[in-house]
Structure 1
Amino acid sequence: MPQPESQRTLGDIEQTAPSADPAQQLIDQLGGPTGMIYTAIPIIVFVTANALVALPIAIGSAVTVALVIMGLRIARGEPGVQASGGLAGVVVAGAVAAWTGSAGGFFLIGIWASLAGAVVALLSLLTRRPLTGLLWNAVHGNKFAWRQDRPSLRAHDIATLALATMFASRYVVQDWLYDTGAAGWLATAKIVMGTPLLALALLVVVWAFRRSTKRLA
């Protein structure tokens, strides 16, 4: 016999409440659109400063701006770990630039990360365990046999291929620019191939997530 609304417990309400959209969870983990824009600002500052002053000062300028951005994000109520991610990336990039003694070194970590992302995504496709499908199932507690559902598997094949293409194109273009020593063009490529390409790839990922959720969850 159904319980009256007034007698339902908090646990009952939580069990009947719809779960959060996994696609939105993925975007939130990336910091959302504003968070992705924040990552471009220190890059612009670094390249601009490097054209005007010595490399150590350019690195210090980028780190300072990243520190200010972190403070603003924390002041807006963002989690400290998420807000500090951008600062950590700039500090590491600056350390590599200082170690190599070249402005191009500031972008090496991103280039290597793109190569790693492309390899992981492609390997997951070759082993018939597309990366986005693994992420979708992890969000849902790894309780669905999503690989047995052909439409869901196909959707995640497409989404993972989109990610692999994004990472591979970043690596090929930026590695070539790094080899030619074109730091200014490298910064432009990093920004243009950053948020815009990621947004396009995430559209495909969101479609695959929602397709699987509709069919299985």
Structure 2
Amino acid sequence: MAETKKRTGLGALADAGSDDDFSVIDAIGGPRGVAESMVPGVVFVVLFVTTANLQLTIGISAALAVLQVIVRLLQRQSVMGAVSGLLAVGICLIWAWQSHEARNYYMFGFLTNAFYIVLLSVSLMVRVPGLGLVIEFIRTLPTEHFRAWLTDWRSDKALNRAYTIITVLWIAVFSLRLVVQVPLYVTNHVGWLGTTRLLMGIPFWALAIWVSYLIVATPMHRHKALSEGSGQGKHDSMEEQH
């Protein structure tokens, strides 16, 4: 039997209510995924700090990002993660190259964090917690009856409360990144900025996913059990009528 590929990121949280063991390492992409996401940033900051040559730093960082995609292609593995990483790194490198300032390598990250803060905050204002919306969409993928799908999980007070809490948690993570890193950007401390970016990247991502799992696993499991029980009850009732 083929092994089911485990989902990563919020997709892993969508499986939180199942009986499968939850793994933070798997949720953040496994050792290889962690390495591929961290290496370009490490290379950029180390090269720039040691050489102070922005053009050399950009060139080597770009070559490394392309190499990651080529390796996956040669190994006939999924390249989606590597390609998305290449796109993100490419935007950062182009920004630094055009501005001739190494610190602008991190500007795209600031903008994406600010975007997520605004988006998730708006979701709380309209009482549809953003993390819940994404996780439930991944979990059940509504193709019709959207209103019924939305009401189903929002009417579960425990589950909706859990989604609200983790949405606030992720807003806090994105906000803390900006609070710590923006002053380093403004004062042009590229070395410290790169270091804090790495420390507040994958480690914070892993911590946010783990804490989110602890918060949503139980109410999600109960909601799934109730939904399956309700569905089975309707099925039995229809059989009795026939």
Short-chain TM bin: 0.7 to 0.9
Task: Provide the TM-score with structure 1 as the length reference.
Answer: 0.82
Gaps of 5+ in 1: 1-19
- Which 4+ runs in 1 deviate beyond 6 A? 25-29
Report the counterpart of residue 100 of structure 2 in structure 1.
101
Tell me what 2:62 maps to. 63
2:167 is aligned with 1:160: yes
1:201 equivalent in structure 2: 208
Aligned partner of 1:37 among 35, 42, 60: 35
Residue number in structure 1 paired with 2:181: 174
Aligned equivalents of 2:177 and 2:205: distance in 1?
Answer: 10
- CA deviation after TM superposition for structure 1 residue 30, in Å: 5.8
Aligned to 1:149: 156
Residue-by-residue CA offset, 1:146-189 (whole Å, 9 max, x unaligned): 11111001110111111111111111211111101000001001
Root-mean-square deviation (Å): 2.5
Give the count of matched residue pairs: 199
Kindly indicate whether residue 199 of structure 2 is the aligned counterpart of residue 192 of structure 1.
Answer: yes
Greater shift in the superposed pair: 87-96 or 67-76: 67-76
Q: 1:30 to 1:76 in 2, by over 3 A?
A: farther
Which structure's relative contact order is higher, taking Cα pairs within 8 Å and 6+ residues apart? 2
Please tell me whether the aligned partners of residues 36 and 82 of structure 2 are also in contact (alpha carbons under 8 angstroms). Answer: no
Quote how far apart the aligned CAs of 1:88 are: 1.3
- Describe the shift of the 1:81–1:103 C-alpha distance in structure 2 as closer, same or farther (beyond 3 A): same
Q: Can you give the 5+ residue segments of structure 2 that lack an aligned partner in the other structure?
A: 1-5, 16-23, 143-148, 225-242
